[in-house]
Amino acid sequence: MRSYNKTLYALIAILVIYTVSFVAFIMYSITNFAFSDFYKRLDLRRDLAAERMLNGNANQKDWSLSYLEELNNQHEFIVELDEKADIVKSSGFNLSLWERVNKQGETNFKESNTFYSTKFYQQEGKNYIVGVSAENYFYTHHLRYLQNLLLIALLLGVLFVVVVSLLVKRSFIKPIHGLIDEVKKIGSENLYLRLSEDKYKGVLHKLANTFNRMLNRVETSFETQKNFISNASHELNTPLTSIIGIADLALSKDRTIEQYKEAMQKIVDAAGNLEKKTSALLLLARTGYERNNKLNFKPVRIDQVIMDAEMTVKAINERFHIKTDFSMLPDDSMKLKVNGLAPLLQLAISNVVSNACKYSSNHTAYVALGAFENGVLILIKDEGIGIPEKEISYIYDPYFRASNTQHVSGYGIGLPLARNIIKMHDGKLSITSTLGRGTTVRIELPAFTPL
């Protein structure tokens, strides 16, 4: 903010200096023109007066003067000089100005509001100074009026620049203060809040968008950390308790070899269950923390990813069936490219497709792929048990399983993991479901844009 104020004040200073310089230049130019023009007019009258005084009747005006406008308070004078340039005789000249007169040539000078033009002449062996004086009416009246006008214009211009600059500053600072107030409302307890990007324009809109994207990363990290701690303490505690309980029971008294083998098998099963949950939990945490690490992203054909995911799902369970609809594919194959990591995208899609097969009585998933203006669209649908409406808001919580899924094995990791992967690729995963009729998963991914 201080830097902005310094820049604003510097611009105001520059505009003020420019305005003052411009006014001073105009004033100087007009004044200089007024002076030089008036001196030319005086020189003409001086030459005519010298011709009349030295060659004609000094008391009779030359006929040419009748064609010239008589200047304000115009006076003619002649001074006779000796060889030492001392005054012999003077007529109509203020002798106090003698030192300002050039005794050997022409002189133009100003005393108060009166302008003088003099010239040295020689006539019949005698030396003369002939001159004319007059008041410059343009200088004493019009130029002063122009000077006052420019001074007022200068003050008004400076005032206008300052007022406009302050208004611009206020109009720019106000949305910044609004942005600051919105940011102050966001804390660790309400990281779901976002800045209103539509309220801002230009650079502030980009700033709000950048800040919101940063909040997305921070919220993901917080959620991942919180989920990891809560899920690890809850989900990992159960198999550990089971392992400890079985071991304590087996060691509580002597047992037969068969009983020890049975206990060890239970421990191995519980440890295997623990290992699967730990791996799933760590993978979920990794996708949460690394969702913005795009250093290794490359162009990926999403149709190839879907086909690879189908092969993976069928390899896991031969009873699973997948029907793929490619009728919506665009003519331009470049529109099927997205920026990402093929293994992660394959993992996300295979998890969703596997769920669709697993929770359907016919073990069939319907997959459709298409493209829109700025991305690709993947629809994965099943005709399975669906999700209860009251539980739809919890489906992205790790380890959450709907109340109607007790008969189907699972850990509740696949969907949160898939959503994290899609988010990592700047995509969107949404779900609509009807209990007893099936579920539809909609995945949108932005198209690859080459640099």
Output the DSSP codes for 307-332: HHHHHHHHHH-TT-EEEEEEEE--S-
Query: How far apart are alpha carbons 62 and 93 in whole angstroms?
Result: 20
Question: How far apart, in Å, do the first and last CA atoms of the chain sit?
Answer: 34
Please give the Cα distance from 44 to 254 (Å, whole number).
141
Query: In this structure, what token pair is assigned to residue 231?
Result: 């899920």
- Which helix (DSSP H) or strand (DSSP E) does residue 128 occupy? strand 126-135
pLDDT at 440: 92
On the question of a common fold for 187-293 and 298-446, the answer reads no
CATH code for the domain defined by 298-446: 3.30.565.10
Count of CB atoms situated within 10 Å of the CB of 75:
16
CA angle 156, 160, 161 (to 5 degrees): 120
Residue 286: what pLDDT?
61
| Dist CA 287 CA 416 (whole Å) | 10
Domains of the chain: which residue ranges?
Answer: 2-141, 187-293, 298-446
Structure tokens at 342: 């093929």
- pLDDT attached to residue 451: 54
**CA distances in angstroms from 7 to 4, 14, 20, 240, 261, listed in the order given:** 5, 10, 20, 64, 81
- Per-residue pLDDT reduced to its tens digit, 353-381: 988 898 888 889 999 998 888 889 999 99
DSSP assignment of 177-207 equals: HHHHHHHHT--GGGTT----GGG--HHHHHH
Which positions ≥6 away from 424 have C-beta within 8 Å? 287, 290, 291, 292, 294, 340, 344
For residues 439 and 382, the answer to whether their CB atoms sit within 8 Å is yes
- Specify the 3-state DSSP secondary structure of 56: coil
Tell me yes or no: is domain 187-293 CATH 2.40.50.
no
pLDDT at 442: 93
Q: How far is CA 354 from CA 326, 359, 367, 430, in A?
A: 19, 9, 12, 17
Identify the pLDDT of residue 292. 47
Report residues of the chain scoring pLDDT below 70: 1-5, 56-67, 220-221, 223-238, 273, 276-277, 279-296, 398-399, 410-411, 450-451
